[in-house]
Amino acid sequence: MAKTDTGTTELLADVRDGVGTLTFNRPEARNAMSTAMMDGLADLLADWEDSDDVGAVIITGAGGAFCAGGDVKGFNERGGEGGATGEVDPARVDAQRRNQQATVGRIYRYPKPVIGSIPGAAAGAGLGFALSADVRIGTPKSVMATAFGGVGLSGDYGVTWLLNQIVGPAKARQLSFYNDRVRGEELLELGLLNWVVGVDELEAKAFELAKTLADGPRGCFSRMKANLAEASIVDLDASMHAEVQRHLECGVTDDHREAVAAFVEKRKPVFRR
């Protein structure tokens, strides 16, 4: 395992067997966001995007939580999230837009599969990080909540759009307005989690899922993700038009030739790195 310097102790990172793991590390604050954490996350995502050492990414949290979102205690200390002036600072709007695109936006559009490993609470903006992953695994202790209404905020970091895409508009409205805390098996039923495993199994199972993808045809997965992302925002004809180019790009790769040869020879394929 190779530890990676993130520039802060509030975000941990390592790479092992083609899997990069990013861990929110403010357990005393349920891994609430900080500037250092967000800057480190944006930088590592950018660095790993073109790295052959990383074929899949896990995002998780330390100390039994995933990420509690914004630091509400910090909001209170400065007179509210936007400060005590009563005026919206345009510079802060621009800065947060850039950070959202460099973190949640980048995770959603990432050319490599991303797995959210959710040991506990994912709330507020933390829910955005969880939902921007391609798939999510959790335990009976996993909890998700929009949380914004409880502190008088409307929501950021993509939570509204992502929630609407996954659970549909009616359920998204319920979860937003009433701030329901959804747990374990109900998360599975709603599609907010893809797997629920025992608490002691989470880390190993998340790594197993990620390594399966890291060992797979990476160029194929990248194009598959592009198809899936487009499917949320274009109609069928536009989706079919775009997918042909990507499909035939896969069809001229060594990975494709290896996969079909392995299929015919009834063996496991070995993909290039």
Render pLDDT for 130-155 as a digit per residue (tens, 0 to 9). Answer: 999 999 999 999 999 999 888 888 88
Provide the 8-state DSSP code for 138: E
- H helix and E strand count, the chain: 12, 10
- What pLDDT was estimated at residue 71? 73
> Two tokens at 114?
């991303």
Cα-atom radius of gyration of the chain, to the nearest Å? 19
CA distance 17 to 55: 9
Q: Cβ(128)–Cβ(104) under 8 Å? A: yes
Provide the 8-state DSSP code for 69: -
- What pLDDT was estimated at residue 87? 81
Which residue type does 56 have? A
CA neighbor of 133 nearest in space, from 216, 61, 26: 61
Query: Is the CA virtual torsion 100, 143, 111, 57 positive or negative?
Result: positive
In whole angstroms, how far apart are CA 156 and each of 126, 179, 243, 246?
Answer: 10, 15, 31, 32
Rounded to the nearest 10 degrees, the angle between the axes of helix 169-178 and helix 159-167 is 130
Whether the pLDDT of residue 74 is over 80: the answer is no
DSSP H or E stretch at residue 160: helix 159-167
In whole angstroms, how far apart are CA 200 and each of 28, 183, 256, 273?
Answer: 21, 17, 37, 31
Pick 92 or 28 by higher pLDDT.
Answer: 28
Q: What percentage of the chain carries pLDDT values higher than 70? A: 94
Whether the pLDDT of residue 119 is over 70: the answer is yes
pTM attached to this predicted model: 0.92
Render pLDDT for 200-257 as a digit per residue (tens, 0 to 9). Answer: 999 999 999 999 999 999 999 999 999 998 988 898 999 999 999 999 998 889 999 9
CA distance 108 to 208: 21
Average pLDDT of the chain, as a whole number: 92
Whether the pLDDT of residue 97 is over 90: the answer is yes
Q: Return the minimum-mean-pLDDT range out of 115-119, 169-173, 228-232.
A: 228-232
Which residue type does 262 have? A
- What pLDDT was estimated at residue 133? 98
Residue 3 pairs in a beta bridge with: 14
| Backbone φ and ψ of 20, nearest 5° | -95, 130
- What pLDDT was estimated at residue 161? 95
> Two tokens at 143?
């909890």
